[in-house]
Structure 1
Amino acid sequence: MTLTDAPLIAVADACERAVRYTREDIAAFARLTGDTNPIHHDAQAAQRARHGEIIASGQQTTALMIGLAASHFSRADDGRPRELLCLNFNFAFKAPVFAEQDLLLRWRVASVEWNATLGGWLAHADGTAGVPHAAPAVVGRGTLLVKAASGN
């Protein structure tokens, strides 16, 4: 790949996915990841806590956000197979994520530049997760390296 070839990722490229957690999903994810905070599985403890009900762990939503970015930006649906490395992600938690809420996960590419040393396109993407038409519960920024798949 050279700078004159068409980028495999471009500014304003975007993806989104709708998700909904059940209380059981939240408790199972917390157990799987070793998060023993009772606000993720104990309704009585959650009622006594600040938000009053069971909330998802931050890592549950960020894991799905990273998975969405990795799946979308490594796609080959345009006949141009890609290799993707997720180099860095940072997240801030702005509001709790409750069970039985519809959430919309989104990423949008903010900048792209060719990196000759890495042999690919470095992209910075901005992400959000939250209830549609409301302020985001989670905001994120990711750095991705997108290259042509080996052998292409």
Structure 2
Amino acid sequence: MTDSSTLIADEAAIAALVQVGERIEHVAHYTRDEISRFATLTLDLNPVHHDREAARRAGLADVIASGQHTSALMSGLAASYFSREDGIARSMLCLHFNFAYREPIFAGSDVSMRWVVSSTEWNASLDGVIAQLEGKATVGHALAVIARGTVLVRRAS
């Protein structure tokens, strides 16, 4: 059975590291060259990421970013945010990320990425906060990617 002083200590530890409702936001501009370079680096040679004519033959208006392009940017955004030092040194481990791709992201697009902390829980055995994240990437008002994540945030030593 947990006593009230332990609960208060857990709540204080959570609040110092991560809070429900915290938002992480970033806008990235996807150029044709960046789309092609990222796809090449991840061994994705699908021509729709590299060649405008191949993309058009596939029924697309232009080259599109690979799914892992947005996934990597969103994962990196979360990692950078939760391992920041703003008076409290933190470290973060990704426990799980899931991405669903709803719309293609075309070259020349500005992609708005957002994570929101939806829940937190202190985990004594891991000595940190397990935070659930809800994310999305939009182009204009179109939802392109839906994401969910679970991260472990701890005080850095």
With the shorter chain as reference, the TM-score category is over 0.9
Does residue 144 of structure 1 match 2:122?
Answer: no
Secondary structure of residue in 1 paired with 2:80? helix
> What are the within-5 Å matches in structure 2 for residues 35-74 of structure 1?
35-74=44-83
Where do 5+ consecutive residues of structure 1 fail to align?
none
Q: What residue is the counterpart of 1:108 in the other structure? A: 116
Greater share of helix residues, 1 or 2? 2
- Structure 2 CA distance for aligned equivalents of residues 103 and 4 of structure 1: 35
Identical counterparts, % of pairs: 52
- Structure 1 CA distance for aligned equivalents of residues 11 and 26 of structure 2: 32
Shift, 1:4, TM fit:
4.8
- Structure 1 CA distance for aligned equivalents of residues 11 and 100 of structure 2: 36
Runs of 4+ residues deviating >4 angstroms: none
- Structure 2 CA distance for aligned equivalents of residues 51 and 109 of structure 1: 34
Q: What residue is the counterpart of 2:102 in the other structure? A: 94
Q: Structure 2-normalised TM-score?
A: 0.90
Which one of 84, 87, 91 corresponds to residue 83 of structure 1?
A: 91
- Structure 2 CA distance for aligned equivalents of residues 66 and 74 of structure 1: 12
When residues 4 and 52 of structure 1 are mapped into structure 2, their CA distance, relative to the original with a 3 A threshold, is closer
Secondary structure of residue in 2 paired with 1:125? strand
Does residue 28 of structure 1 match 2:37?
Answer: yes
Shift, 1:44, TM fit:
1.1
How many pairs are equivalent?
147
Shift, 1:119, TM fit:
0.8
Q: Structure 1-normalised TM-score?
A: 0.92
- Structure 2 CA distance for aligned equivalents of residues 35 and 112 of structure 1: 36
Opposite residue 107 of structure 1, the aligned amino acid is W
Secondary structure of residue in 1 paired with 2:88? coil
Opposite residue 117 of structure 2, the aligned amino acid is V
Shift, 1:135, TM fit:
3.0
- Structure 2 CA distance for aligned equivalents of residues 91 and 51 of structure 1: 22
Opposite residue 108 of structure 1, the aligned amino acid is V
Shift, 1:40, TM fit:
0.2
